[in-house]
Amino acid sequence: MGLKLGDKFPDFKANTTEGEIESFYEWIGEGNWAILFSHPADFTPVCTTELARAAILHGQFEQRKTKLIALSCDSVEAHEKWSPDIVAYCYRHSKTPEGAKWCPMDGDCHKGKEAEEMPFPIIADEKRELATLLGMLDPDEKDSEGIPLAARAVFIIDPSRRLKLSFLYPATTGRNFE
Ligand code: BEZ
């Protein structure tokens, strides 16, 4: 599709780990920013660590009125099976800059209660419809069935729903959320 900076980001419907989103715009809500970032597939090591870092940092995005939403080209059922791996990674790799254990999930671990859920939704795009709409398919990288993989994309969308930043790079390149 070739979204350019300043373009209106498309509104869309999506099935996610937090249920059906009827309108992406409504999900973002008034006055918020949004970051939509994509992953080629569930249960892959780099995607797992990227999602975990985003989960660990989600409170900082929230403080800045920024909603996070991920997309991976698998089903909601697959995402739900994968999420505990991501959360487990959060617990093993979450440290404050001072080195103390820090809770990635809204302070739950401080109360002796382990969070089991991701703090933001993951879109199920198993038919790659959104990946196609948003121009995220990588013609050079194919899955085991020969279907193009979704690249890793990041879109930052401002409160007026305009695209302020985009990154697009191949599945073989990991992403640092710090
Ligand atoms: C990964 O997240 O580890 C990955 C996903 C797709 C292709 C290569 C690596």
List of domains in the chain: 47-169 (3.40.30.10)
Q: Tokens standing for 22? A: 């009827």
Mean pLDDT across 7-34: 98
Atom of ligand 1 nearest to the CA of 45: 3
Q: How far apart are CA 153 and CA 52, in angstroms?
A: 16
Mean pLDDT across 37-64: 90
Check whether 174 has a pLDDT greater than 80: yes
Mean pLDDT across 91-120: 55
Percent of the chain with pLDDT over 90: 58
Q: How far apart are CA 129 and CA 133, in angstroms?
A: 6
CA 41 / ligand 1 centre spacing (Å): 7
Ligand 1: list residues with CB < 6 Å: 40-41, 44-47, 171-172
Which helix (H) or strand (E) element contains residue 170?
none
User: Which pLDDT does position 88 carry in this prediction?
Assistant: 80
Q: What are phi and psi of 52, to 5 degrees?
A: -65, -45
Mean pLDDT across 136-150: 86
CA 43 / ligand 1 centre spacing (Å): 9
| Catalytic site includes residue 47 | yes
The residue ranking higher by pLDDT, 123 or 90, is 123
Mutating to test ligand 1, I would choose from 38, 42, 46, 128 the residue with most ligand atoms within 8 A of its C-beta, which is: 46
User: Which pLDDT does position 111 carry in this prediction?
Assistant: 41
